[in-house]
């Protein structure tokens, strides 16, 4: 079998244990004699999967009892609309740190008064804004904790005077989070907690029911709370793979353990980028993401970009091409990306440097 080191930004590498467990369920789910993609989502066997998946979320992130956990469709992009639909009555505040944060702000502006309190667009989103003021009359303040395209991350839980909403699509479960500091956390699963097709929402129950606008049934969080994420047929296979992924995470020590490994992997790669004469990082050092490491050829070495891409590809590196909007390279070091893969990429960079001394 061909050896591949998967650095894709999403869908991303998943733990082999989760893949193997999901393959078994595709063949025979819970002894039913049916595949998991054929079984009724109203069956007791499926109820058990939903209950276990919610329990794993609650245990791994220490989610308080006054929060609901939802598994929905539509990706984080639909949440850009659902958040203001359910929470924006008078004013919403947003921190613009990248393309996805900008898109979230756009949807809120389409529904009402939404303001940008700070933006890093002036430097192509290569840093996290500091020193901004959160308006105390806002219904909520929205942040995107990790910016996959630009490689920046808010690595701590900020103190917020209003309801804090966070898109954690690409760093959820990668580090400890004090959920009690947030009113709502959402994201697509396809970075750290499963495959594409399911979206997680962690929501404090008391923030709902405050808006006066009509809420379409499918865009109303309360609909999905009341239906236990099964108001309509849920994305069963994606949820099942999520369950298997979270079981793997628990088995290796949980979020606290994986955070230590993630920090170690990121430091290894950033140290090589900073040492290597052919490469340079693009994000401000204090804001560098531990999930998405973005870098380019050093000044004067730009002509080597395509050559390095082919060089790396020949050595099994997959998915290191930077986002089309910024170019260069991006190595996504999500939870299931092994340390071995990072070591292989570093060795490739060192070998390429020796060829071009």
Q: Which residues are catalytic?
A: 100, 167, 191
> DSSP readout, 244-265?
HHHHHHHHTTHHHHHHHHHHHH
Report the interhelical angle of 236-251 vs 16-27 (nearest 10°): 140
Reported in sequence order, the residue ranges of 171-246 that DSSP labels E, i.e. its strands, are: 184-188, 199-204
CA–CA dist 200, 185 (Å, integer): 8
Token pair, residue 180, equals: 């009690």
Nearest partner of 256 among 178, 142, 202, 346, judged by Cα:
178
130 Cβ contact list (under 8 Å, min separation 6): none
Nearest partner of 231 among 239, 221, 246, 242, judged by Cα:
221
Peptide bond preceding 173: is omega within 30 degrees of 0, i.e. cis? no
CA–CA dist 344, 350 (Å, integer): 10
Angle among Cα 246, 9, 353 to the nearest 5 degrees reads: 120
CA–CA dist 351, 357 (Å, integer): 10
Token pair, residue 281, equals: 């990082």
CA–CA dist 179, 49 (Å, integer): 23
């Amino acid at each position: 079998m061909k050896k591949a080191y998967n650095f894709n930004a999403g869908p991303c590498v998943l733990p082999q244990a989760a893949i193997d467990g999901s393959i078994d369920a595709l063949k025979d789910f819970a002894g039913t004699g049916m595949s998991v993609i054929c079984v009724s989502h109203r069956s007791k066997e499926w109820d058990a999967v939903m209950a276990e998946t919610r329990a794993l979320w609650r245990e791994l992130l220490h989610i308080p009892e006054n929060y609901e956990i939802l598994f929905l469709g539509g990706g984080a992009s639909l949440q850009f609309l659902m958040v203001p639909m359910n929470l924006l009555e008078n004013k919403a505040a947003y921190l613009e740190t990248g393309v996805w944060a900008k898109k979230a702000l756009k949807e809120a502006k389409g529904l009402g008064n939404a303001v940008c309190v700070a933006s890093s667009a002036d430097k192509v989103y290569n840093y996290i804004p500091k020193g901004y003021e959160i308006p105390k009359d806002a219904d909520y303040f929205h942040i995107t904790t990790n910016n996959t395209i630009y490689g920046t991350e808010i690595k701590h839980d900020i103190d917020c005077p209003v309801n804090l909403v966070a898109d954690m699509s690409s760093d959820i479960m990668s580090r400890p989070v004090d959920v009690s500091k947030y009113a709502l956390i959402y994201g697509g699963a396809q970075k750290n907690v499963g495959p594409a097709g399911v979206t997680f929402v962690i929501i404090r129950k008391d923030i709902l029911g405050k808006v006066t606008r009509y809420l379409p049934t499918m865009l109303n969080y309360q609909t999905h709370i009341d239906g236990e994420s099964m108001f309509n047929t849920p994305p069963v296979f994606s949820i099942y793979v999520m369950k298997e992924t979270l079981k793997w995470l628990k088995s290796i020590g949980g979020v606290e353990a994986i955070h230590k490994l993630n920090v170690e992997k990121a430091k290894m790669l950033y140290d090589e980028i900073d040492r290597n004469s052919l490469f340079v990082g693009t994000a401000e050092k204090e804001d560098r993401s531990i999930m998405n490491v973005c870098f380019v050829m050093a000044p004067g070495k730009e002509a080597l970009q395509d050559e390095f891409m082919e060089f790396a590809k020949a050595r099994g590196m997959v998915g290191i091409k930077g986002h089309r909007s910024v170019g260069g390279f991006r190595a996504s070091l999500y939870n299931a990306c092994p340390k071995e893969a990072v070591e292989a990429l570093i060795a490739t960079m060192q070998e390429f440097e020796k060829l071009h001394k």
